[in-house]
Amino acid sequence: MKVVKTANKSWENRHEVFVEDINDMYIPGNESALDALDSYNDATKGLQQLIADAIANNTPLRALGAGWSWPKIATVKNGVMLDTKQLNTVFTISAQSVSPACAIEPRKLLFAQSGNCIWELERFLFNKGMSLRTSGASNGQTIAGAMSTCTHGSAFDFGSVPDFVVGLHIVSGANKHVWLERASAPIASQQFIDNLQTELISDDDLFNAALVSFGSFGIIHGVMIETEDLFLLESSMERIPYDDGLKHIMDTLDFSQATGLPNGTERPFHFSVLVNPHDIDGGAYVTTMYKRPYTTSYSKPVSNTAGIGPGDDAPSFIGLLSGMAPIITPLMVNKVLAASLNIHSKQIGTLAEIFSNTTLRGKLLSAAIAIPLAETSRVADILIEINKDGNPFAGLFSFRFVKGTKATLGFIKFPQTCVFELDAAFSNDTHLFYERVWTRLEAENIPFTFHWGKVGELNPERLDYMYGDSIDKWLQARQQLLDADTRKIFNNALLQQWGMDA
């Protein structure tokens, strides 16, 4: 494996909201002179060597995806960060590579090296007539980075990114790498395991814990994903009254009495609601997307004059609100929203065309908080109330809906989950607003969790409130997979602050 040691001493995240002091940033890459499998296995050995060096030098190590997360979850102060994006080989899967007990057709499986960006996988799959099953609103994350924080869209009958991952190849020590899959859902044949020169561990608890482990379970080298036949999404966004009818859908996902949606009572694949707290009477912006069979006869989705496409969400324009005085916030939010939002009717595109890459404009903050579905409109009322009582919120309230995940620490933890997002300008006022929101949720006894890749405020007590026994299960799995020396290396300040570095 090639490794470029950049000698960089600092690293800034994608949103430019923090800079971390580091010892070095390494960029590992596959050996091009070798064939794909040999090069993959050579990279496994290279990653093991990096872990051995880190242990020998007592220097912490952490894999970086695309650097899209807001907290310092991919960084390690005075340690080595590993930019994984060049590790982007993919392997299609033959019948010989899957276990006879595997319930998934081999043509639907894809084995991807961890640094593949979501858009790279989508491009590869498109050429095979296949698609990812879901994604976030944009597609620039790496597959391992997106999975590791439980990145989600609003596919409320499917789930989030970890829910299409069915096998993991993890370099978990200087002398250890393992293939992890669920015992209840076998995937790999012995031939596949032999090809990767690895060891099979079939264990639901270990697998579920490793799925959302934010860089703390070693280096995820490869990810087996389940894909599906290419499909189209028919997307519309319209403004409809924020009334009891809409609130009923938000609290239940029951579309049987829906009025005002583009296809009446048909159950969409994706449903999301954007509320502008400064103009509630004007109605909510509701996006519905219906799944349609793939055909080539459609016009690709188009961006509006502000360059915002149908799948783009608030982060693509909300940074424009940075640096303004609170007194003009409502006016500016209305102005930016009117100029940016992409009201559209029945635009058609593949998942990758609708949820394509995002251009960020300005510095912004984003918090995403998961709550049980039935609490959605109650929480919306709380947000509206908090906004009236204090400096106005320089952003929007958005609501997405996702099926609960099996990942032990997946923050999409409620069987039917609403994720409400508070995307706003970067400022102290935004942080204050966030604090008031979570203090109020606690005061009202509303269960909630934070997106691991967005702004939150975690401590051991709050983690216990949010996840209970699952924290112990996750810690036990980490202890089972990583020896003490390796655990010490894959540590960082956030894990320590959360009491999860044990």
Ligand X SMILES: Cc1cc2nc3c(=O)[nH]c(=O)nc-3n(C[C@H](O)[C@H](O)[C@H](O)COP(=O)(O)OP(=O)(O)OC[C@H]3O[C@@H](n4cnc5c(N)ncnc54)[C@H](O)[C@@H]3O)c2cc1C
Out of 28, 60, 79, 136, point to the residue binding ligand X (CB under 6 A): 136
Q: Which one, 64 or 237, has the nearer CB to ligand X? A: 64
Neighbours of 311 (CB within 10 A): 29
Q: Does 491 bind ligand X (CB under 6 A)?
A: no
Q: Does 405 bind ligand X (CB under 6 A)?
A: no
Q: Does 314 bind ligand X (CB under 6 A)?
A: no
Residues 115, 142: contact at Cβ < 8 Å? yes
Spatial separation of the C-alpha atoms in residues 279 and 277, rounded to whole Å: 6
Q: Does 64 bind ligand X (CB under 6 A)?
A: yes
Handedness of CA 479, 485, 491, 495 (dihedral sign): positive
Q: Does 65 bind ligand X (CB under 6 A)?
A: yes
Spatial separation of the C-alpha atoms in residues 189 and 173, rounded to whole Å: 23
Out of 68, 156, 285, 467, point to the residue binding ligand X (CB under 6 A): 68
Out of 25, 27, 50, 74, point to the residue binding ligand X (CB under 6 A): 74
Strand 61-64 relative to strand 80-83, pairing: parallel
Q: Which two tokens stand for residue 337?
A: 């929203």
Residues 322, 148: contact at Cβ < 8 Å? no
Out of 73, 168, 249, 455, point to the residue binding ligand X (CB under 6 A): 73
Residues 81, 25: contact at Cβ < 8 Å? yes
Annotate each residue in 353-392 with x if it binds ligand X (CB under 6 A) or - if it does not, as one string. -----x-x--------------------------------
For 253-284, give the secondary structure using H, E and C.
Answer: CCCCCCCCCCCCCCCCCEEEEEECCCCHHHCE
**Largest pairwise CA distance in the chain:** 66
> Using CB under 6 A, which residues numbered 27 to 56 contact ligand X?
none
Out of 28, 215, 301, 309, point to the residue binding ligand X (CB under 6 A): 215
Out of 131, 139, 148, 276, point to the residue binding ligand X (CB under 6 A): 148
Annotate each residue in 220-239 with x if it binds ligand X (CB under 6 A) or - if it does not, as one string. x-------------------
Q: State which residue has the least CB distance to ligand X.
A: 145
Q: Which one, 73 or 185, has the nearer CB to ligand X? A: 73
Q: Where are the alpha helices (DSSP H) in 374-419?
A: 376-388
Shortest Å distance, C-beta 122 to ligand X: 14
Give how many residues touch ligand X by CB under 6 A. Answer: 35
Shortest Å distance, C-beta 296 to ligand X: 27
For residue 12, give Cα distances in angstroms to 17, 22, 315, 320, 321: 8, 10, 18, 20, 21
Shortest Å distance, C-beta 221 to ligand X: 7
Out of 30, 39, 41, 142, point to the residue binding ligand X (CB under 6 A): 142
Q: Which two tokens stand for residue 150?
A: 């439980």
Annotate each residue in 448-477 with x if it binds ligand X (CB under 6 A) or - if it does not, as one string. ---x-x------------------------
Q: Does 270 bind ligand X (CB under 6 A)?
A: no
Q: Does 66 bind ligand X (CB under 6 A)?
A: yes
Residues 112, 90: contact at Cβ < 8 Å? yes
Nearest residue to 40 via CA among 113, 133, 138: 113
Shortest Å distance, C-beta 173 to ligand X: 14
Annotate each residue in 84-123 with x if it binds ligand X (CB under 6 A) or - if it does not, as one string. x-----------------------------x---------
Residues 6+ apart with CB under 8 A from 313: 137, 272, 274, 398, 421, 423
Identity of the residue numbered 219: I
Chain residues binding ligand X by CB under 6 A are 14, 62-69, 73-74, 84, 114, 136-138, 141-142, 144-146, 148-149, 151-153, 214-215, 219-220, 315, 358, 360, 451, 453
